[in-house]
Structure 1
Amino acid sequence: MIRIGVDLGGTKIEAAALDAEGAILARQRTASSKNYVGMIESIRDLVAAIRQQTGAGPVTIGVGHPGSINPRTGLVRNANSSQLNGHALDRDLEAALGQSVRCANDANCFALSEAVDGAGAGEHCVFGVIAGTGVGGGIVINGRLHEGGGLIAGEWGHTALPRPSADEVPGPDCGCGRQGCVESWCSGPALARDHERMTGEALSADAIAARAAGGDVQTRASLERHAGRLARSLSTIVNVLDPDVIVLGGGLSNLPGLAADLQARLAPHVFSDEMRTRVVVNRHGDSSGVRGAAWLWPLEQRP
């Protein structure tokens, strides 16, 4: 049985076929459509191309997407690819593909990929972090994705920044309509905004990291502030979930030394006499989206 995973992003859609051991047999990419029907058709065509390339017979299909599906209405909500919101993505895909499809939030797919055969393999409880344009997360316990009753488990990016200082209150505006969310402080754009707020200099997160690597004092200070806020935010995850490992993903996971820095910074904020949760960088990188989507169908389950 071949498993096909689809990563539905704002700029691209990627599909890949995995064998039983997790090896990628084929992969295809296309630009993401700006309208909903175009997205459905693109996924249909990608899956057909993967089938043809592999000569696959029966397959399972999983799709990772922004936002979540409301279990009451069956409609997508909170997706930053707004053309998805208000649509029955899973049902429409099943109609287009002619078979059962499993859908999950893209951060959940990242966490599942890293828990199954990535940086969190073999651990009982894995928390996967996406820190890039936005901030999200996913929870895997005993090899199974934990989505919660409302399918919003892991959405730590829209909790408030813990233990804010006086100059962090009320905090920046967040895309969710609130102020002071973790995402509004710890995403890539948030790092850039904070640097500009403190220095008057507009730099991207990548540029900040590059200058800091060269010894620039101001950019290093910006990265210090960012790491401190990220550590405070993750300490809440550790205190509530007590994961064996936190796996960092998204563009900011590439910041040099970030995992080790967070590991050291977490301990003072955790309610324990020792810090046992490991913080590590992901193993599969950009491939975790399609890999996790494919793993939405465990080996013993078939459509």
Structure 2
Amino acid sequence: MIQIGVDFGGTKIEAAALDAAGQYVVRTRIPNPGSYDAAIRDVRDLIAAVERDAGATGTIGIGTPGSVDPRSGLMRNANSTYLNGRTFRYDLEHAIGRELRIANDANCMALSEAVDGAAVGARTAFAVIIGTGVGGGLVVDGQIVEGANGIGGEWGHVPLPWMTAEEFPGPACWCGQAGCLDMLISGTGLRKDYAARGGEGLDCPAIVAAVREADPLAVAALDAYVSRLGRAMAMIVNIVDPDVFVVAGGMSNVTEIYPALPDIVRAHVFGGVWEGRIVPAQWGDASGVRGAARLWGR
């Protein structure tokens, strides 16, 4: 038996089949078609192609942006906005002709890393997604914690804790609130902070390159970014106290963010004691598709 995972991204849809040992049997991707009916058709055909190439039928897990409302069954908060308000899971099951499981893509990433990635052996793992936006996922004892309303782990839309006077009230967020982590510890947040300090309109890789050249504006922007990320992690420690934070997304590749984070976390947690780990995701961008496949267990 194989396990099939589908990672429904904003620009691409990736599918992979894993064997019992977690090795890839098939891995492929297609562009996101940009419309609902086409997405249902393309995912159906993608799964059929994976099973044909693998020579086996498998369980099916789907990792999506946003989440399914557990009461209505409707998708919500997806950046592929044509999914929102639609019965995506039901329509896919009808098109494919069998049951599937679905979870938020950040939760899939957390599950993947807990099963056979950087969080193996941890009882509690919190996934930190820091790319264009900010996402999170929580796994406890090998199980995703979605919460009663399906929004567990959505730390991107809580305000930055322990704001300084200069930071308060924080930038307006697309969700309607202000000071959200999505605006401050994403790659987008770093870029905007650098520009606000008088820097040129650089993207994140260019800002990091400038840090490595000791550009003072870039160094100040990255220092502020790391401080905010550490404070945000400390808030999670005070609520969940994970054994490990697993970090993914474009900013996870910036090695300069890791050395200072443990001390910042300890400076803000209750009692000042914390001995957890902060590590980059072992599977990187593949964690989403692998975690989707793992929604059926091992």
TM-score, normalization: structure 1? 0.96
What is the aligned partner in structure 2 of residue 14 from structure 1? 14
Tell me if structure 1 keeps the 8 A contact 2:66–2:104.
Answer: yes
Pair 1:199-2:198 in alignment: yes
CA shift at 1:141, angstroms? Answer: 0.5
Per-residue CA deviations over 1:90-109 (Å, capped at 9, x if unaligned) read 10110111110101000000
2:280 and 2:199 mapped to 1: Cα distance?
31
1:3 and 1:56 mapped to 2: Cα distance?
10
1:105 and 1:27 mapped to 2: Cα distance?
20
What is the aligned partner in structure 1 of residue 111 from structure 2? 112
1:208 and 1:138 mapped to 2: Cα distance?
28
What is the aligned partner in structure 1 of residue 290 from structure 2? 291
Pair 1:227-2:221 in alignment: no
Per-residue CA deviations over 1:133-173 (Å, capped at 9, x if unaligned) read 11010000011111111110000010011011112122111
What is the aligned partner in structure 1 of residue 39 from structure 2? 39
2:176 and 2:41 mapped to 1: Cα distance?
32
Pair 1:25-2:64 in alignment: no
Structure 1 runs of 4+ aligned residues shifted over 2 Å read none
Tell me if structure 2 keeps the 8 A contact 1:114–1:121.
Answer: yes
Q: Alignment partner of 1:49: what SS?
A: helix
1:142-221 to 2 correspondence within 5 Å?
Answer: 142-221=141-220
What is the aligned partner in structure 2 of residue 275 from structure 1? 274
Tell me if structure 2 keeps the 8 A contact 1:185–1:191.
Answer: yes
Q: Alignment partner of 1:120: what SS?
A: coil
Task: Report the AA paired with residue 297 of structure 1.
Answer: W
Pair 1:51-2:51 in alignment: yes
2:216 and 2:54 mapped to 1: Cα distance?
52
1:28 and 1:150 mapped to 2: Cα distance?
33
Instruction: Give the gaps of 5 or more residues in structure 2.
Output: none
Tell me if structure 1 keeps the 8 A contact 2:199–2:217.
Answer: no
CA shift at 1:273, angstroms? Answer: 4.2
Give the number of equivalent residue pairs: 298
1:259 and 1:60 mapped to 2: Cα distance?
37
TM-score, normalization: structure 2? 0.98
Task: Report the AA paired with residue 80 of structure 1.
Answer: N
Instruction: Give the gaps of 5 or more residues in structure 1.
Output: none
CA shift at 1:200, angstroms? Answer: 4.4
Tell me if structure 2 keeps the 8 A contact 1:260–1:279.
Answer: no
2:285 and 2:259 mapped to 1: Cα distance?
21
What is the aligned partner in structure 1 of residue 67 from structure 2? 68
